[in-house]
Amino acid sequence: MGEARKAIDRMTEAMVTHDRAALAAAYAGDALATTPDEGELKGRDEIVRYLGGLLDAIPDFRWESLAEHESGSTSVDEGWVVGTNTGPLVLPNGDTLPATGKAVRVRGCDVATVEDGLIVRHNFYFDQMELLTQLGLAAG
């Protein structure tokens, strides 16, 4: 197992255990992330804020892995985000939606580039419409 695999595994473990300090420790201070809903996030603090919002909205967050790949300094994870929306969901425009109480199971993919044991670039991929439909906020 290489450095890229270890780094993304640490990040995933921090998400599953809701350890925000460990989550922050997985990223370089100047890391960049790209998300389907908020676009580009600049810096560790913005990335942790974004992921923390997911944990707040889905306190029983789980990751069900389908596939893990590593090539050089890049690691790719494919799987399912699973949980129940029992917390508020902050939208990209700053509005907050109250919890729906609905279960979600949304397929996702993460591509992380690692330098010196820290994630420096993280691309998150998931279907926003699938998430909104499962939350009952859009017609499916």
Q: Residue 23, SS3?
A: helix
Q: Which sequence spans correspond to the domains of the chain?
A: 3-134
Sheet holding 74-84, edge to edge: 39-42, 27-35, 118-126, 103-115, 74-84, 62-71
Query: pLDDT 10s per residue in the chain (140 long)?
Result: 799 999 999 999 999 999 999 999 999 999 999 999 999 999 999 999 999 999 999 999 999 999 999 999 999 999 999 999 999 988 778 889 899 999 999 999 999 999 999 999 999 999 989 998 999 888 86
Q: Which residues contact 93 (CB under 8 A, 6 or more apart)?
A: none
Class at the top of the CATH hierarchy for domain 3-134? alpha beta
